[in-house]
Amino acid sequence: MKSGSTARSVANVTETNGAETSASSALAERARRLDASLLKDLLEKMLLIRRFEEKAAELYALGKIGGFCHLYIGQEAVGVGAISFLGPDDYIFCSYRDHGQALARGMDPGALMAELCGKTAGCSKGKGGSMHLFDKRLGFYGGHAIVGAHLPLAAGAAFASRYLREPRVTLCFFGDATVNIGSFHESLNLAQLWKLPVIFICENNEFGMGTPIEKTASIVHLHERACAYNMAHAAVDGMDVLAVRDAVGEAVERARKDSLPTLIEARTYRYMGHSMSDPTHGIYRTKAELEEHRRKDPIKRFISALEGIGVITQEYVEETDNRIREIVEQAVVFADQSREPGPEELLADVYLP
């Protein structure tokens, strides 16, 4: 999987409408090979993320969620596709843009919402917030808010798996702008040098905050950075959940069988601002540009592919969407009812005894 064909198919997607149709039929083609229950599960997870994030935006506007809050809307296919290939013992590391991956991994939406609201029932007891989601039992090893700082951590967890001869793999998600920081390079070198079972997933949503990636990276095809470390790499259409699943699947096999890392660039797009304090468009991108990308919505595209091959019906989608909205409502109720941390929590968890 040294880039090649997948990279080219991504380029097509972003060019013409004709190519878009062909990308959709590629998605339908992949779907045909998979179990209906798996396909429905993927769709459900993507919808859950979408509805959860929409609700998080509402709660942010109401002041129930504070601080920095980075939403995943538009990028659902990446987290869901990638994580769908993992086993229960595998590890996941994320940046601060971590709600989607946490839900894809099966984190309880109530625990997640409670964390965003700073409540004790939150997955990090309300001490981490949006950018620091943790769930050890799920192998969810955090949201980390210093750009690039979690890449060495992911390499380290993969190192531990190899050291302990455990067959785990580690997925590490980060944004496009992260390929320019030193920790990215130090981690890739160590991962390849020491043959660590880690998959680096660069979610290329085209911007680091308000700066387009071509203004900050000396190369366009970010996955090619792996060449400098002799590491396997691939680009994939990050708006196609099954393409992501396939690409990550190959990388997971490589990690599990040969204990080797991979760099995957998933070409995606974020529909919201960088964080809740950033408008969706106006400064660094136009409304038209945003609308154009919205037409490639990964969820809509998946739904139409699944409807096309007869796996689901419109009624099913409506019914599922309603069910998910209800789950999200319940998550809000749970968060609302959860206790604020008491003053005794302030000094707890600084040191282990």
Ligand X SMILES: Cc1ncc(C[n+]2csc(CCOP(=O)(O)OP(=O)(O)O)c2C)c(N)n1
**Would you tell me which residues interact with ligand X (CB under 6 A)?**
95, 97, 145-147, 174-178, 205, 207-209, 274
Amino acid occupying residue 96: Y
Interface with another protein in residues 80-109 (CB under 8 A): 91, 93
Minimal CA–CA distance to 75: which of 94, 88, 62, 59?
Answer: 94
* Residue 120 burial by Cβ neighbours in a 10 Å radius (0-12, 13-18, 19+): middle
With contact defined as beta carbons under 8 Å apart, do 272 and 74 qualify? yes
Residue bearing tokens 């050291």: 163
Does the protein bind another protein through residue 200 (CB under 8 A)?
A: no
**Amino acid code (one letter) for 128:** G
Select the binding partner of residue 134 from another protein, ligand X, none (C-beta < 5 to 8 A, by kind).
another protein
Give 124 or 161: the residue with its C-beta nearer to ligand X: 124
Out of 74, 79, 110, 156, the residue judged to bind another protein by CB under 8 A:
156
Q: Which two tokens stand for residue 328?
A: 């999200």
Nearest to 100 by CA among 192, 194, 228, 238: 238
Give the amino acid at 141.
Y
Size of the site for another protein (CB under 8 A): 45
CB atoms near residue 264 (< 10 Å): 29
Minimum CB separation of residue 212 from ligand X in Å reads: 10
What does the alpha-carbon distance between residue 225 and residue 307 come to, in Å, rounded to a whole number? 38
- 186 near another protein, rule: CB under 8 A: yes
Task: In angstroms, give the least distance from the CB of 244 to ligand X.
Answer: 16
Sheet containing 91-95, strands listed edge to edge, beginning at the edge strand earlier in sequence:
140-144, 91-95, 170-175, 198-204, 262-267, 232-237
Please, what is the minimum distance in Å from the beta carbon of residue 281 to ligand X?
15
Compare residues 119 and 267 and give the one whose CB is closer to ligand X.
267
Q: Which of residues 112-151 bind another protein (CB under 8 A)?
A: 122-128, 132, 134-136, 141-142, 144, 146, 149, 151
With beta carbons less than 8 A apart as the criterion, state whether 196 and 155 touch.
Answer: yes
What is the helix (H) or strand (E) element at residue 94, kind and residue range?
strand 91-95
Nearer to ligand X, 151 or 158 (CB): 151
What's the alpha-carbon Rg for the chain, to the nearest Å?
A: 19
Neighbours of 336 (CB within 10 A): 13
Q: How far is the CB of 201 from ligand X (least distance, A)?
A: 11
182: partner contacted, choices another protein, ligand X, none (Cβ within 5-8 A by kind): another protein
Residues in the chain: 353
Q: Which one, 81 or 142, has the nearer CB to another protein?
A: 142
Residue 262 interacting partner from another protein, ligand X, none (CB closer than 5 to 8 Å by kind): none
Looking at 161, 178, 204, 338, which residue binds another protein (CB under 8 A)? 161
Q: How far is the CB of 110 from another protein (least distance, A)?
A: 15
Nearest-CB residue to ligand X?
175
Residue 266's beta-bridge partner residues?
203, 236
Nearer to another protein, 183 or 268 (CB): 183
Site for another protein, rule CB under 8 A: 91, 93, 122-128, 132, 134-136, 141-142, 144, 146, 149, 151-161, 163-164, 182-183, 186-187, 189-190, 193-194, 348-353
